[in-house]
């Protein structure tokens, strides 16, 4: 329930994307928010107030002359109750109206009358690709951003007019993640976090290889939590099928060597490196170019192994890490004696923080429990969802980073 206790005014303006507002309304409520829908007359041409009333559980407002308000000031009353005003879809016309401070309907009145410091305005634009690219629209957006409005961006794809390009309203789940992220404290603003996640795959032949049970869920959750905290995030992901967190740049790799190469290519731009990936310690000394076939002799293939490079240790001994410009965090997935192994690994890797967990108890699961080890000892983060743990861990690491950079 990431939006528990939040009250959102959901504004709808004219556009075919109004159909997405129905799902968005339900998604906001499912995350704990209360939703008050306010519609323009144009929006009511695309979706009925009855639909939005049924989904929100509240009477929909569509006129500044609404007699239900004792003082006849719904633009004041409704805006004062909100934690944010989210306009989705927001048409090009309505953006232009906001820019000039026009207030000729209830929704634009609310936007103008809202207390700017306490009621943020979030816009989810929706329009034809030519309208989106038009210099007037781009100028309007730039000015609205300067005024403090949060523009949530647009999607790319098929449009109702039959054309294809930028300008589609983002999907409801994308907007939901953006709204959730908006309310998180931006404790990593100005930082660039590099995260490795998932397993690696070391090929034996064209169809077989050595890997492990890491699902990547913890690393992906950490990437999302860092993005929510305001950081620019680059995620280097092993072979997993998880969706990329919103706002995160993803680089897919396969082997440990691939992951090392990608890490070294991007780590110089980072201020924090979080190595959550379960990287294979060894790989076959030689990859066979054809599938190894068994025969009637019963002979077992003899494989030779070589050690993979230690990605975390290599980064931790770099000049930027040693000088404090790069804060390194390691992960340890153990099967037993977690504290002892994690403590020894932190010292061996030469990192300020190492996060330990019991691998067999968490691989593939949506929950985990963490042990944060530093030079002073260890702190437990009790079992919870991986996203909740990731957010707690990011807050912890942000505090350490702030102390280090003072």
What residues act catalytically?
A: 161
Q: Name the one residue in this structure whose structure tokens are 């993640």.
A: 177
Query: Mind giving me the DSSP string for 175-195?
Result: HHHHHHHHTS--TTTT-EEEE
Q: What would the two tokens of residue 347 be?
A: 């010292």
Helices (H) and strands (E) in the chain, counts: 15, 19
In whole angstroms, give the CA distance from residue 290 to residue 395: 49
In whole angstroms, give the CA distance from residue 49 to residue 322: 60
H or E segment at 202?
strand 202-203
Angle at 363 between CA 357 and CA 366, to 5 degrees: 95
Are the beta carbons of 229 and 185 closer than 8 angstroms?
A: yes
In whole angstroms, give the CA distance from residue 7 to residue 114: 14
In whole angstroms, give the CA distance from residue 114 to residue 122: 12
- What are residue 37's phi and psi, to 5 degrees? -90, 135
> Distances from the Cα of 219 to the Cαs of 61, 301, 397, 406, in angstroms?
43, 35, 15, 28
Distance from the Cα of residue 26 to its chain's centroid: 20
b vs e for 292-317, b when ≥16 Cβ sit within 10 Å of the residue's Cβ?
eeeeeeeeeeeeeeeebebbbbebbe
């Amino acid at each position: 329930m990431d939006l528990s206790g939040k009250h959102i005014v959901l504004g709808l303006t004219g556009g075919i994307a109004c159909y997405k507002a129905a799902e968005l309304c339900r998604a906001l409520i499912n995350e704990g928010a209360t939703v008050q829908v306010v519609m323009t007359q144009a929006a009511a041409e695309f979706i009925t107030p009855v639909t939005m009333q049924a989904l929100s559980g509240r009477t929909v407002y569509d006129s500044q002359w609404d007699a239900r308000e004792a003082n006849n000031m719904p633009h004041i009353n409704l805006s004062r109750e909100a934690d944010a005003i989210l306009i989705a879809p927001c048409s090009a016309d309505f953006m232009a109206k906001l820019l000039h401070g026009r207030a000729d309907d209830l929704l634009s009145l609310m936007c103008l009358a809202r207390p700017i410091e306490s009621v943020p305005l979030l816009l989810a634009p929706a329009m034809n690709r030519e309208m989106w690219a038009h210099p007037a629209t781009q100028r309007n957006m730039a000015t609205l951003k300067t005024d403090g409005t949060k523009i949530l961006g647009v999607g790319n794809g098929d449009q109702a007019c039959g054309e294809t390009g930028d300008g589609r309203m983002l999907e409801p789940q994308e907007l939901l993640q953006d709204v959730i992220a908006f309310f998180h404290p931006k404790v990593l603003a100005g930082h660039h976090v590099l995260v490795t996640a998932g397993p690696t795959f070391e090929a034996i032949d064209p169809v077989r290889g050595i890997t492990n049970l890491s699902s990547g869920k913890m690393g992906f959750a950490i990437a999302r939590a860092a993005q929510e905290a305001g950081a620019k995030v680059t995620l280097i992901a092993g072979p997993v099928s998880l969706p990329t967190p919103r706002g995160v740049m993803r680089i897919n790799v396969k082997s440990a060597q691939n992951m090392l190469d990608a890490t070294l290519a991007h780590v110089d731009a980072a201020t924090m490196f979080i190595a959550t990936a379960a990287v294979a310690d060894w790989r076959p000394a030689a990859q066979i170019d054809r599938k190894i076939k068994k025969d009637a002799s019963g002979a077992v293939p003899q494989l030779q192994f070589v050690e993979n490079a230690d990605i975390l240790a290599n980064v931790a001994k770099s000049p930027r890490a040693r000088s404090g410009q790069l804060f390194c965090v390691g992960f340890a997935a153990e099967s037993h004696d977690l504290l002892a192994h994690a403590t020894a690994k932190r010292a061996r890797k030469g990192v300020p923080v190492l996060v330990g967990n019991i691998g067999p108890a968490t691989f593939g699961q949506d929950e985990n429990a963490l042990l944060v080890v530093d030079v002073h000892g260890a702190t437990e983060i009790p079992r919870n969802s991986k996203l909740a743990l990731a957010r707690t861990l990011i807050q912890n690491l942000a505090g350490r980073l702030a102390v280090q950079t003072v």
